[in-house]
Amino acid sequence: QLQLQESGPGLVKPSETLSLTCTVSGGSISSSSYYWGWIRQPPGKGLEWIGSIYYSGSTYYNPSLKSRVTISVDTSKNQFSLKLSSVTAADTAVYYCASQWELTFDYWGQGTLVTVSS
């Protein structure tokens, strides 16, 4: 069974870049069956898909965030990463990584709260 774990700073200053890594265990990130995605949830609000990546490096992003988002993959470490630039308070959220099978998210990390504040 896949397990995913997010890691990274819990506090980011406005205008800086948010960086998170998701470590996958219990399976290979190079599996041809999966994409790997990032989803976020502002406190008390709903879910927003950020973007996804295939092990080959192919990516697709939420158009509303595309100009600020970069998702990358490191198959040697079984990890994929998120960078979100020029953050504001509106980017404060719990960030989840998840495995994506046929575009649904079947395994999720526990989530990590990232607060944007000076």
Partner 1 sequence: DIQMTQSPSTLSASVGDRVTITCRASQSISSWLAWYQQKPGKAPKLLIYKASSLESGVPSRFSGSGSGTEFTLTISSLQPDDFATYYCQQYNSYSRITFGPGTKVDIK
Per-residue x/- track, 24-53, partner 1 (CB under 8 A): ----------------------xxxx--x-
User: Interaction with partner 1 in 69-98: which residues (CB under 8 A)?
Assistant: 96, 98
Task: Collect all residues with Cβ–Cβ distance below 8 Å to 82 and sequence separation of at least 6.
Answer: 18, 19, 20, 21, 22, 38, 50, 51, 69, 70, 71, 95, 97
Residue whose pair of structure tokens reads 């295939």 in the numeric block: 54
Could you give the maximum distance between any two Cα atoms of the chain, in Å?
A: 41
For position 60 contacting partner 1 by CB under 8 A, the verdict is yes
- Binding partner 1 (rule: CB under 8 A), the pick from 22, 34, 87, 109 is 109
Binding residues vs partner 1 (CB under 8 A): 46-49, 52, 60, 62-63, 96, 98, 102-106, 108-111
